[in-house]
Structure 1
């Protein structure tokens, strides 16, 4: 082999080696970029799932199921790309609670005068409680989880100054619930809740 042919062969071999090294380097760089992107996407989805679990609402279960499907797909792609990083969700910080305001106290005395039954006054009980319907029919009556059957209670709606005095006829889970007939005597039109009420135990 002539010297010129030998030099040409060496040059071709060197070029081939250089090209192979460049290809390997480029492949490694591309794999590294793919793993970084996949890891970031995985972390974002894991953070979202953790946040939904920490503070769930009515739609959280559906959101978590959707994101978990995305997580599974990303993990498949990471396995194919050879990504080995341990990706975890960031720790969830406890939400800062807004300062709680002291409940507004109901007046200790019911307004004097008018109402459906008017007249009798007594000790104010269950301050700050709202009053709503029990859904029971019949003559005006109440149900209560605080006072025994037979207790006489007076309810005054401070928004319209109407009041009614009724006896507890059945037990319930609230301080007082009014049956349909009693509630009609003190309600405001179109409202099914008395937010500003004074409840008194009479006698």
Structure 2
């Protein structure tokens, strides 16, 4: 119970920070550096559908971290809907998943993650064209081999994403459109995220091809 409460507090802090950043900069929480090219309803609808599908999957087959993942994705869904409204997107978009707890079986208490020494922040990598400065990065919810989606760069563009909080980087190609500068699919995000976190707050995004 203590672990769950602490995790809920951490999720609330993430959501509050994301909302504050949105109000201050007028930008989308998962990509505060999104250009006007990303303001397209098809991309926003695609990102919304991916996140709703991810939430539905977590509710259908929950594990110890499902509550945190769902809370993070729901915050992203809310911000996408705000962006759709601001862009004048018509229609209701993809249907929302069933309400939390409707058919969800009880989850197992979370196991305590092993502690590790904090990683030293990495300097901004050199060699690429740094784009979308100040952007945060999260998941698109898509499966398959490591790849990215973007509403700023065309399909086939090669992007390098570096997580400055743990010095991990990955180079991926844009495979699908979205309503953000860059979203990583599940396989790509897993290679650069910190354990238990579903948002990269300090990211460097480079266009390398």
Please say which structure displays the higher CA radius of gyration: 1
- TM, length-normalised to structure 1: 0.42
Bigger RCO of structures 1 and 2 (CA < 8 A, at least 6 apart):
2
TM-score, structure 2 length as denominator?
0.41
